Structure 1
Amino acid sequence: MSSEKGTGAQSEGYGSDADARDDAVFKALANATRRRILDLLRAEPMTTGAVAEAFPELDRTTVLQHIRVLERAELLTGRRVGKTRVLALAPLPIKRIHDRWIGDYARAAVDMLAMLDDEGTATSPD
């Protein structure tokens, strides 16, 4: 496959480990429950039990499955404190997605809006 010079696609390479990591992040973020778990953990680390209690409509096993998907995507980390497990948000994969995909697209959109604004200003009557 070809890729344009200077894009994240060339530097990361399609089919690379980076693509597999990005796929795992996108898969994890595609589910509303998992996004809600990340929102909870954004405020502060929580125990697995506290996260499960925040979803009374789901059984504990289902919440734990969602947590495992988030851990595989490296979006959260867990550590043992005695008999409990404390979960914390790990924002680096989201930053990686932003840097690789969103940042470039947002920059292009802002440049396009600026160009349209300049054209509108140049042609507007005084």
Structure 2
Amino acid sequence: MNEKELEMTLRLDPNKRYRYFIKKVVDYEEVWSLSNEKGWVTSEDDNGKIQLHFWPTKEHAKYCAIENWKDTNPESISLEDFVENWLPGMLEDKVGISIFFNNNDSISIPIPQVHSDIEDELENY
């Protein structure tokens, strides 16, 4: 990914970043997050619910590896594993999802909707 595309996509509004996320993860068949020896990066939403963070590319995840997450590294998750294990596990554990944080904001969509949107996009391939 070139620097110009990175900067452009980081400036998109949250809904457009979400659509970009869905298209990219289906296209490349992988999802990215940040982790270290303590585990995956998390935050709390306004209601105190724990959220896991996911990005469409390694470069987007790496862009957010600053401040509290400065000691983390981008790690890929296969799309198949994400859809078959991560999303159902997060639902079961009542963990929320934060999509495409840009060091300012992200979008949190109900997990069943994320799953449905990925499945819909997969039908285009």
- TM-score, normalising length: structure 2: 0.26
More helix by share: 1
Larger Rg: 1
Higher relative contact order (CA closer than 8 Å, sequence separation 6+): 2
More strand by share: 2
